[in-house]
Homo-oligomer: A and B are copies of this chain.
Amino acid sequence: MDEENRFCPVEAALAVIDGKWKPYIFRNLSGRTMRFGELQRDLPYVTRKILTQHLRELENDGIVVRTVFPQVPPKVEYSLSDYGKTFIPIMSSLSGWGQAHVERDNHDRAKQPDG
């Protein structure tokens, strides 16, 4: 967006999960607090760099809380903030619609193999 007057609140919401792995990170943290390494194990296709980057962005957006335990070796925990939890219903409706969309898509392709 270049002009403020064209700003769309939908984009503001989408920006929060704009990042290839953010929905997955969000889903993981929806259940419980997790350490960095735990997230890595649950998301084996994300590199440390990108995982860190996405977590920082989620933190800056107020969605995620980062807690550093000053010890050796380092221990860092991530969790959804109360504010972040207000996004859970959005994710749920996206998930519901998306699920139906995938099924509809499969159904259509089954009837029209040539797409």
- Contact residue range for chain A? 35 or more
Distance in Å from the Cβ of A114 to the closest Cβ of chain B? 13
B89 & A12 in contact (Cβ 8 Å cutoff): no
A98 & B24 in contact (Cβ 8 Å cutoff): no
Q: How far is the CA of A43 from the CA of B93 in the complex (A)?
A: 28
Dominant secondary structure at the A interface: helix
Which of B45, B62, B93 meets A6, CB within 8 Å?
A: B45
18 contacts between A and B (CB under 8 A): A2-B45, A3-B45, A6-B45, A8-B95, A8-B98, A9-B98, A9-B99, A10-B94, A10-B95, A12-B101, A12-B102, A13-B94, A14-B98, A16-B101, A61-B101, A86-B97, A90-B93, A93-B93
